[in-house]
Chain A
Amino acid sequence: DGGITQSPKYLFRKEGQNVTLSCEQNLNHDAMYWYRQDPGQGLRLIYYSQIVNDFQKGDIAEGYSVSREKKESFPLTVTSAQKNPTAFYLCASSIGQNNEQFFGPGTRLTVL
């Protein structure tokens, strides 16, 4: 089955701790994205990557970091510098000129 997986579905961390969210895809998509969703707001782009070993900041990159060492994987680290990390995080991928995005199931991060 082709798709995007994110793990875990729910994640709890103490304030001040870094945490890494996993995103894996087996769709052979070139581009991958990380979004944050907060109540009453549209999805906001954190980082995106067009190809392996390359990524760009989105609109709200402060306090986050990413890596793209493999085409299939695009992990997001939420650092202690992120002031308000509690949110729902969605990973997506796309391919080709169309660039229709396909989303993972999301990870709900709660910082206590």
Chain B
Amino acid sequence: KNEVEQSPQNLTAQEGEFITINCSYSVGISALHWLQQHPGGGIVSLFMLSSGKKKHGRLIATINIQEKHSSLHITASHPRDSAVYICAVREGTYKYIFGTGTRLKVLA
């Protein structure tokens, strides 16, 4: 069993839909990181959080430390949101464990 599990693995949505991507982990963490990987391979940091909730534009990330679970929400989805979304948890200071990613496709 992977230490970081994401669901779903693949997701297709219509433009405008509300999207939720889930991340569950089984290890003790100091922080959780949501990343976005575009088709060219580049990775962009979306959020780093250790408690509660963060919002940036149409993106919202939440984390429940007791349940070892985080969600990434996208409101009013758009085709440009199509990408792979990766959850990574940080153990200690330098070690990250990455999920395998959720591939999102938003159709116009």
Contact = CB atoms under 8 A, between A and B. Distances in A.
A106 B41 contact: yes
Contact of A90 (B43, B94, B99): B43
B94 A42 contact: no
A29 to B, nearest CB: 12
Contacts of B44: 103
A99 interface: yes
A45 interface: yes
Contact of A48 (B42, B45, B94): B94
- Chain B contact surface mostly: strand
A99 B90 contact: yes
B38 to A, nearest CB: 10
Interface in B90-107: 90, 93-101
A98 B2 CA distance: 25
A55 B53 CA distance: 34
A99 B93 contact: yes
Interface of A: 31, 33, 35, 37, 40-45, 48, 50, 88, 90, 97-106, 108
A-B pairs with the 8 shortest C-beta distances?
A: A42-B98, A103-B43, A43-B98, A106-B41, A100-B48, A105-B42, A42-B100, A42-B99
